[in-house]
């Protein structure tokens, strides 16, 4: 009965039902990975229950992931700068011997 009411409402308003709106594949995969890390290994029932229970620490994990990504990006930029500096030093050395 509830499903029929939802369909009737969507038809009256002229809006299609979108149950996955705002849920990209990356967001969904990240959510599954977070849930898998929190659930005890080997306990399927505990994992199933964990999907139903709201967790407060998932925001903390997302913040930690964002910090790690930012740190990795900064490290990558730093390494690229060092490589550029080394290549410039090598070019300068070649000019001295030429």
pLDDT digits (tens, 9 = 90+) for 13-66: 887 777 777 677 788 888 888 877 776 666 677 667 667 666 556 677 778 888
* Residue 55 confidence (pLDDT): 58
Every domain of the chain and the residues it spans: 24-55, 59-98
Give the per-residue pLDDT at 98: 53
- Joined together, the tokens standing for residue 34 give 């977070």
What pLDDT is recorded for position 13? 81
Whether the Cβ atoms of residue 55 and residue 36 lie closer than 8 Å to each other: no
pLDDT at site 86 = 78
Terminal CA-CA length for the chain: 86
pLDDT tens track for 18-28: 777 767 778 88
């Amino acid at each position: 009965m509830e499903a029929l009411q939802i369909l009737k409402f969507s038809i009256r308003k002229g809006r299609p039902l979108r149950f996955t709106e705002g849920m990209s594949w990356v967001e969904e995969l990240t959510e599954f990975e977070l849930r898998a890390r929190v659930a005890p290994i080997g306990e399927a029932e505990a994992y199933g229950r964990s999907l139903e229970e709201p967790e407060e620490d998932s925001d903390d994990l997302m913040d930690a992931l964002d910090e790690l990504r930012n740190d990795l990006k900064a490290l990558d930029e730093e390494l690229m700068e060092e490589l550029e500096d080394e290549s410039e030093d090598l070019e300068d050395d070649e000019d001295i011997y030429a």
